[in-house]
Amino acid sequence: MLRSADGAATPKLVVTDTVFSMDGDVAPIDELLNLCERYDALLILDEAHAVLGPHLPETRTSGARWNVVRVGTLSKTLGALGGFVAASHDVVDLLVNRARSYIFSTALPPADAAAALAALEVVRSAEGQALTNRLAAHVERLSCAGLATPGHPSPIVPVIFGREQAALSASAALLAEGIWVPAIRPPTVPPDTSRLRVTVSAAHRDEDVGRLIEALVPLYAAARAGALG
């Protein structure tokens, strides 16, 4: 599509999540950066779920030659409220003056802005790095238990059950054990890919993750054997 529009006067935009919310996989950011640079396109990234990356190299996303617009939320990783757009001064000025969602929305309360700034300070500190490492270790444990592929890149771990009823039955069985893992069904995901959407956080303890694995692995095995739901 970019090649077919090359040389045209129409502006070109490439829009993507960095981490996709239902599979927990990541976009090929370096390849997208190369394409946008080659075809003079604006790259717009939604980084709502990018707590473990991918991290954009600042040398590739700054400067006057071309622009990257980064959209994020303050309500997930940072645990506050609201969101942000980070871009060049020209793009920010355009949004401030033309974006209806900005013009007709109220500003964040000062307490929420302060909470987001305090959380950002934690993320950038040694404590934040320790929390990030802890979260990555939780994901690795799920991979070692066969619930995610090796090296899974995000704390969103889809456990594919296929049939809707199997996913619903597994979710109900976990809830009966005091473990809340929602079942995701069509139309949110394609047919025959119903799943449990496991989302771990740094606030989970090691024993919490162990308890989840102990309860979920046999349910997953039963579903794969056709004995669940």
What positions carry a catalytic annotation?
Answer: 21, 49, 76
CA distance 226 to 74: 41
Going by C-alpha positions, the residue among 32, 28, 31 that lies closest to residue 42 is 32
Report the run of H or E that residue 199 belongs to, with start and end.
Answer: strand 194-199
Strands 42-46 and 68-73: parallel
Of 78, 2, 85, 79, residue with least CA distance to 38: 2
d(Cα 203, Cα 207) in Å, to the nearest integer? 11
Phi, psi dihedral angles at 36 (to 5 degrees): -65, -35
